[in-house]
Amino acid sequence: MRILSLDLGKFKTVFLDYLCGSGASAAGCQYGKVASTPQAIHDLLVTREPDRVVLEAGSSSGWVHDLAVALGIEVQERER
């Protein structure tokens, strides 16, 4: 399973893209940053093709949740 974890910021979003399950290793993790805009997040989701997105519950999480769901991606939110 490919999981994309997002730390949503006002201007920048930091992401961790990783595989979990059998055969996965820490070497498969990739960190990065994108702008916290609908277009940049959309492009990240389309490019990375995660099975699940994990994001913190916050002021930006609503539209990010809706965007991921519209792309058919499972979303898991965590409270701060």
Residue 4 burial (C-beta neighbours within 10 Å; 0-12, 13-18, 19+): buried
**Which domains can be identified in the chain, with CATH numbers?**
2-78 (3.30.420.10)
Q: What is the pLDDT of residues 14-60, one digit of tens each?
A: 999 998 765 656 567 899 999 999 999 999 999 999 999 999 888 88
Distance CA 36, CA 12 (A): 5
Q: What is the pLDDT of residues 47-73, one digit of tens each?
A: 999 999 999 888 889 999 999 999 999
Q: Considering the entire predicted model, what is its pTM?
A: 0.85
Mean pLDDT of the chain: 89
